[in-house]
Structure 1
Amino acid sequence: MPIKHFAPPAGIQAPPLSFAARVGDLLFVSGIPGFDEQGALPDGFEAQFGFVVRNIKRVLDEAGATFRNLVKVNVLLTRASDVATMNALYASAFGPTPYPARTTCVVHALPNPKMLIEIECIASLEGR
């Protein structure tokens, strides 16, 4: 089965990875941080969450998918104190129900010390 890779958008400094890879009807989206269009991390959890959602939407759009195609989401947070805020923002961004299956982990650190959140996900592209 051929694999289609989705490169980071032009101008974005990224580590050596594909933003997403499609295998059959599944799209695996790499962990997406909250970088803005210039590759900077804004201050504050809500701002970073907003850019994470926007960046995931860009990847899904390129693959012909939407948030409704998500089947599994993994959320990585660096602060447990952000869980309640994340849940409220998540409900707004990924709703209405039914939501995709989700795992939320609080981790010691992410690759950039300013990163407060990273989200990876899997989408079904059946029929696309």
Structure 2
Amino acid sequence: MPIQHFAPPAHIQAPPLSFAARTGDLLFISGIPGYDDNRQLPDDFEAQFGFVVVNITRVLTEAGASLRDLVKLNVLLTRAADVAPMNKLYAQAFGPAPYPARTTCVVQALPDPKMLIEIEGIASLAK
């Protein structure tokens, strides 16, 4: 089966990559940052998280899927203090249970020094 690639949303300046690639019934979503529609990163964590969810939703919609089709997410944070707020926001965005499987890592830095969060994932497109 051929692999289908999805370009980055127009409002995000991206490195050379596909924001998502589909093979069979699986959609692999690249790390999604919290850029707003003006290609800016808000200063606060909650706003960046919100835009990450908006941007993931856009990628999923283009592939004919929704947040409920996510089966695995990897969350990268640059500050350990954001884990608790992220859990609250995550439950609101990706709930109700059952939630996607998840790994959360606190990393030293992300590609843009203002990035506080990045989320990548896998969605099932089986209907």
Equivalent position amino acid for 1:90 in 2:
Y
SS of the residue 1:91 aligns to: helix
Unaligned runs of 5+ in 1: none
1:10 Cα offset (Å): 2.4
Q: Does 1:4 find its partner at 2:4? A: yes
Equivalent position amino acid for 2:26 in 1:
L
The runs of at least 4 consecutive aligned structure 1 residues that moved more than 4 Å come to none
Report 1:105-124 matches (<5 A).
Answer: 105-124=105-124
Q: How far apart, in 1, do the equivalents of 2:86 and 2:11 lie?
A: 28
Q: How far apart, in 1, do the equivalents of 2:111 and 2:8 lie?
A: 17
Correspondence for 1:87? 87
1:105-127 alpha-carbon deviations (Å, 9 max, x no partner)? 00000001100000000000013
CA RMSD of aligned residues (A): 0.7
C-alpha spacing 1:11/1:33, structure 2 compared with 1 (3 Å): closer
SS of the residue 1:87 aligns to: helix
Equivalent position amino acid for 1:114 in 2:
K
Provide TM-score, normalisation by structure 2: 0.98
Q: How far apart, in 1, do the equivalents of 2:96 and 2:11 lie?
A: 33
Question: Which of 11-20 and 22-31 deviates more?
Answer: 11-20
Identity of paired residues, percent? Answer: 79
Q: How many residues align?
A: 127
Q: How far apart, in 2, do the equivalents of 1:10 and 1:109 lie?
A: 25
1:13-44 alpha-carbon deviations (Å, 9 max, x no partner)? 11101110000000000000000111110110
Provide TM-score, normalisation by structure 1: 0.97
Q: How far apart, in 1, do the equivalents of 2:64 and 2:17 lie?
A: 20
Correspondence for 2:69? 69
1:11 Cα offset (Å): 4.3
Q: How far apart, in 2, do the equivalents of 1:69 and 1:78 lie?
A: 27
